Amino acid sequence: MEIPVPSVFCSLFFIVLFLLLPETSLPEPRSQTVQTICGNQREHNMTIFVPNFVATMETISQQMRTRGYGVPVTGTGPDSDYGLAQCYGDLSLTDCVLCYAEARTVGPQCFPYNGTHIYLDGCFMRTENYKFYEQYLGPEDRHVCGNRTTKGSLFQQNARRALQQAVANAPSNNGYARAQVSVPGPSNETAYVLANCWRMLSANSCAACLKNASASMLGCFPWSEGRALYTGCFMRYSDTKFLNAISTSGDSSSGGKVALIVIVIVSSMLILGVGVVIGIYVWKNKQIQKKRKGANDAEKLVKILLDNRLNFKYSTLDKATGSFDEANKLGQGGFGTVYKGVLADGREIVVKRLFFNNKHRAADFYNEVNIISTIEHKNLLRLLGCSCSGPESLLVYEFLPNQSLDRFIFDPTKDKALN
């Protein structure tokens, strides 16, 4: 079986692309929503607040792409919108944008109430109509426990140690810390911890938030996973390795991720180019086939007309009708205009100039001429022939001196002549 060249080319391209991909695990945006907490007060004026909210979300989106967090303010007064969004320290900028995009779709669920806290496993977002950036504790603070399995004392011991390390290290590291503690024993006794404060907090406020959050999260033992959702920070422990392998501190993008994106973009453009080339090739081939078919039909038509002596020269019909003089015009139908003509031998004829003179319809034109020319009836016009070699298609009929039948049917005097 012969394989098309484009298919072979595409197959080789994907093989090369696969071989060029780095053998590294890609980071995860962790865009699963943990919990959404809405305020209990209605917005003052939704007509003003909604545009402010949308503008805040868009500004955060722009800031996220360059630094992994955003703190814009839109509007003034009771309808102003203060926003805060931040990705956790182990997310690349690419994954940060993906996580925030998910958080942004959840925000409108709290309308028409102001005050929104959205906790995702990879990022956090909050909006209010007042300035809240220095708050680190609040009445909505809580912990959320997992429900997969319960863990024994060894895992709990490891988790406590990991929490202590994260709480101690985060305040002096831009509010971000990660910890992993394990002791000899089963691998599933390892505890993984993430701690992250919001960028607007001072070191002391961050430490206070994490201290309260970690103490609250101990209430999740003996479950294998727990999260602390606090006003100024987020914490999580788990027996699953959820942390991304390469920490980017929220401010730089993974080189491997960027390389992958470049490869995907280039490959997409190349595939699109190949598709366009193939499409043009197929289209041109169809056009060539159509032209060949049209030419064959036209040649066949001319041969049939010559064999049956149905062909009239265009110049002959042009002369017979006085170059289609308006004085010789008999009428006009749905398919063409009809003229009276007189041939050189004195025969009176009717010439129909067709409105549609598409050469691609040669086959249809031939069929009509071939069929009508064989029909003879005393009450029907007889087709004498046609002209298809000139600038337009013409049909030639015999001339009936009594004109069309409708002149008798709808004439109050002539209709009496019909039986």
Say what the pTM is. Answer: 0.55
Indicate whether 56 and 157 sit together in one domain.
Answer: no
Average of pLDDT values for 37-52? 87
pLDDT score, position 331: 83
pLDDT score, position 102: 92
pLDDT band with cut points at 50, 70 and 90 for residue 201 = very high
Indicate whether 310 and 410 sit together in one domain.
Answer: yes
pLDDT score, position 8: 44
Average of pLDDT values for 304-322? 78
Indicate whether 186 and 108 sit together in one domain.
Answer: no
Distance CA 235, CA 226 (A): 8
Distance CA 185, CA 154 (A): 9
Please list the residues that pair with 350 across neighbouring strands. 340, 397
Distance CA 221, CA 211 (A): 17
Indicate whether 112 and 181 sit together in one domain.
Answer: no
Establish if 243 belongs to a structural domain: no
In this model, does residue 23 exceed pLDDT 50?
no
Q: Which stretch, 1-15, 160-174, 319-333, has highest mean pLDDT?
A: 160-174
Spatial strand order of the sheet with 191-197 comes to 142-145, 225-229, 233-238, 191-197, 176-181
In this model, does residue 382 exceed pLDDT 50?
yes
- Per-residue pLDDT tens over the stretch 208-260: 999 999 999 999 999 999 999 999 999 999 999 999 875 444 344 444 445 45
Domain end among 238, 255, 272? 238
Across all residues in the chain, what is the average pLDDT?
80
- Long-range Cβ contacts of 15-21 (<8 Å, 24+ apart): 17/263, 17/267, 20/263, 21/260, 21/263
Q: Parallel, antiparallel, or unpaired for β 69-70 and 81-87?
A: antiparallel
CATH code of residue 353: 3.30.200.20
Task: Give the whole-number percent of the chain exceeding pLDDT 90.
Answer: 40
Distance CA 337, CA 333 (A): 6
Q: Which stretch, 8-17, 53-62, 238-247, has highest mean pLDDT?
A: 53-62
Q: Which domain holds residue 226?
A: 142-238
Indicate whether 166 and 97 sit together in one domain.
Answer: no
Distance CA 341, CA 12 (A): 69
pLDDT band with cut points at 50, 70 and 90 for residue 418 = confident
Q: How far from 352 is each of 349, 358, 383, 398, CA to CA, in Å? A: 10, 16, 11, 11
Indicate whether 72 and 147 sit together in one domain.
Answer: no
Domain end among 128, 157, 173? 128
Indicate whether 187 and 217 sit together in one domain.
Answer: yes
Establish if 220 belongs to a structural domain: yes
In this model, does residue 54 exceed pLDDT 70?
yes
pLDDT score, position 390: 72
Establish if 330 belongs to a structural domain: yes
Establish if 412 belongs to a structural domain: yes
pLDDT score, position 364: 57
pLDDT band with cut points at 50, 70 and 90 for residue 202 = very high
How many structural domains is the chain composed of?
3
User: Which pair of tokens denotes residue 289?
Assistant: 């086939």
Establish if 52 belongs to a structural domain: yes
Indicate whether 94 and 151 sit together in one domain.
Answer: no
Residue of higher predicted confidence among 236 and 383: 236
Between 98-102, 109-113, 293-297, 298-302, the lowest mean confidence (pLDDT) is in 293-297
Establish if 172 belongs to a structural domain: yes
- Per-residue pLDDT tens over the stretch 74-129: 998 888 999 999 999 999 999 999 999 999 988 888 888 888 999 999 999 999 99
- Per-residue pLDDT tens over the stretch 357-381: 555 555 556 666 666 666 666 666 6
Write down the residue that tokens 């003034």 correspond to. 76
Establish if 56 belongs to a structural domain: yes
Average of pLDDT values for 391-402? 81
pLDDT score, position 203: 95
Establish if 17 belongs to a structural domain: no
Domain end among 75, 105, 128? 128
Indicate whether 118 and 149 sit together in one domain.
Answer: no
CATH code of residue 97: 3.30.430.20
Between 13-22, 34-43, 163-172, the lowest mean confidence (pLDDT) is in 13-22
Indicate whether 116 and 155 sit together in one domain.
Answer: no
User: Which pair of tokens denotes residue 248?
Assistant: 């980017």
User: Which pair of tokens denotes residue 14?
Assistant: 């994907």
pLDDT score, position 81: 92
Closest by CA to 151, choosing from 235, 237, 221, 217, is 221
Closest by CA to 70, choosing from 80, 53, 83, 51, is 83
Residue of higher predicted confidence among 256 and 320: 320
